[in-house]
A and B are shown apart, each in its own frame.
Chain A
Amino acid sequence: GAGVSQSPSNKVTEKGKDVELRCDPISGHTALYWYRQSLGQGLEFLIYFQGNSAPDKSGLPSDRFSAERTGGSVSTLTIQRTQQEDSAVYLCASSLGSGGFGEQFFGPGTRLTVL
């Protein structure tokens, strides 16, 4: 694929359930980022991967949030015991790594609604 893809595009869940959000970065991009876009909060950084390691997890809002990346490609963001305040659009972005500060390419996002 040409761009960053995310799945599902929409997810509705009940409070207390766990959810997994998936991101497929652009092929060859070693850097991967998760952001959250919510009303009143704008776009917030969550976590950054370089390869399979996450040197910056500072944006994860609580220990209910975790993410992993395998094979230097696909990443999964997991939210355990979802709360209504977790409702937001979760965005994934990727860029060429190796210490560069190039353009981050964003996916279409996953809209999460917690009832």
Chain B
Amino acid sequence: AQSVSQHNHHVILSEAASLELGCNYSYGGTVNLFWYVQYPGQHLQLLLKYFSGDPLVKGIKGFEAEFIKSKFSFNLRKPSVQWSDTAEYFCAVNSPNYGGATNKLIFGTGTLLAVQP
């Protein structure tokens, strides 16, 4: 079965530190990749997505992610975090080849990021 792994469950950083959150997926076919963010008390919102083309994707709020097909990875990065980046981050994948007509997202278990001022 397809799965998504997020290796860091809880990350604590100081402001201005660099961030990298790991994400690996297990599906060998064509994939679409996403990072969603959930700020405290808010609903899930899209941070960035990769469908095709340039494997380095830039999203909102200075985040970026790099798709490395050979490593089945889609790590999220930000050069300098802010206190307002405190949130839970979810990596997700879907594929046109899962079988059937589904567009369902398979999510990782999430990474809680706490940024200390």
Residue ranges of A at the interface with B (Cβ–Cβ < 8 Å): 31, 33, 35, 42-45, 48, 50, 55-56, 58-59, 91, 93, 95, 99, 101, 103-109
Q: Can you list 30 residue pairs at the A/B interface with Cβ under 8 Å?
A: A31-B103, A33-B103, A33-B105, A35-B107, A42-B90, A42-B107, A42-B109, A43-B92, A43-B105, A43-B107, A43-B110, A44-B107, A45-B104, A48-B102, A48-B104, A58-B102, A59-B104, A95-B103, A101-B96, A103-B34, A103-B46, A103-B49, A104-B103, A105-B46, A106-B36, A106-B44, A107-B43, A108-B42, A108-B43, A109-B43
Size of the B side of the interface (Cβ < 8 Å), in residues, is: 25
Instruction: Give Cα distance in the complex from A33 to B104, angstroms.
Output: 7
B83 interface residue per 8 A CB criterion: no
Closest to A44 in B: B107
- Contact string against A for B residues 44-61, beta-carbon threshold 8 Å, 1 for contact and 0 otherwise: 111001010000000000
- Number of A-B residue pairs, CB cutoff 8 Å, is 59
Closest to B32 in A: A101
Q: Among B94, B101, B102, which residue has the most Cβ atoms of chain A within 10 A?
A: B102
Tell me whether chain B's interface is mostly helix, strand or loop, or mixed: loop
With A101-B32, A101-B51 as contacts: A48 and B43 at CB distance below 8 Å: no
B105 contacts A45, C-beta separation under 8 Å:
yes
B94 contacts A101, C-beta separation under 8 Å:
yes
B108 contacts across to A, CB distance below 8 A = 42
Instruction: Give Cα distance in the complex from A3 to B32, angstroms.
Output: 23
Instruction: Give Cα distance in the complex from A56 to B105, angstroms.
Output: 12
Taking the nearest CB of chain A, how far is it from the CB of B60, in angstroms? Answer: 12
Instruction: Give Cα distance in the complex from A104 to B36, angstroms.
Output: 10
Taking the nearest CB of chain B, how far is it from the CB of A50, in angstroms? Answer: 6
Closest to A42 in B: B109
Taking the nearest CB of chain B, how far is it from the CB of A91, in angstroms? Answer: 7
